[in-house]
Amino acid sequence: MKKIPRRTVLQLAAAALAIAVGIWVYENASITRLRQGFTPWMHRLERWRDAIEETRRAMRRRQLSRLDPVGMAVLRQWAWNGLDRIASISYRVEKPEHEVSSDREVTRGHVIFTVDGFRPDGARVERSADVLLAAEWDPRRDPRMGKLPPNVVPEAYPLPLSIWVSLEKVIEDRSNNTPRFRNATAESGLGAPRNDPPLTLTNHLISDIWPGSGVAVLDYNGDGFEDLFVADGVRSILYENDGRGTSRTSR
């Protein structure tokens, strides 16, 4: 078998590299081409986000509504179970999946909803659940289809959405009869009075406040406990954490 000369191998490698670079430059150098490939997927995520927001709004309503997503009754029952009021609902999304065709598009994925509310006795309740959420729409209902120049990428057009929700799994449900936070400033040895310099200076954010104050959190002595360094324009205060919830003060 005849051995290929080293020079030929290097020339072939250089040619392959040049072709790869050329393809990459062609695909990525044109903002228009990038937008044509990227923007439609962003529009799909926008519509899925709108479906999530609509579900969150429906969850905050205690009563049934014609605007409710399909399957909302079970999700609402979980959210409101034993509650007098809901203070807030947050969510965390996981990567969704897409089904794309000329007459039907569906985006579905898991969303972790967290409900923060209060029972009639005042106890705070926090509960989380995994919800499978899907949004479907008909892309043919966009009146601009086929009417835009080939290089124009339009913004998302508001299309009617069909939304389905399914309560997959309850993750957490906890309650607390007492506030989670209490004011422990004094017993911890913190809270020295603030002192501003006796100078007339201007703070463009808050009037009559010295603009150079601040706080830093650090373990300055390496004992494994975070310490506080506070400055207010007149003095510097170091609160040394003793690891028992109190501090020693150095000025």
**Domain boundaries along the sequence of the chain:** 45-176, 183-251
User: Bigger pLDDT: 116 or 122?
Assistant: 116
CA nearest to 103, candidates 134, 136, 138, 135: 138
Contact 96, 109 (CB under 8 A): yes
Expressed in angstroms, the distance from the first to the final Cα of the chain is 84
For residue range 32-72, what is the model confidence (pLDDT) as tens digits?
555 666 677 888 888 999 999 999 999 999 988 888 999 99
Question: pTM for the full model?
Answer: 0.60
What is the pLDDT at residue 221? 85
CA distance 186 to 188: 5
- What are the strands of the beta sheet with 227-231, ordered from one edge? 214-218, 227-231, 236-241, 247-250
Contact 68, 74 (CB under 8 A): no
Could you give the 3-state DSSP secondary structure of residue 42? helix
- Residue 188: CB atoms within 10 Å: 16
Q: Quick one: average pLDDT of 200-228?
A: 71
Confidence class of residue 230 from pLDDT cuts 50, 70 and 90?
Answer: confident
Q: Is the pLDDT of residue 160 over 70?
A: yes
What is the pLDDT at residue 34? 56
Please state which CATH number belongs to domain 45-176. Answer: 3.10.450
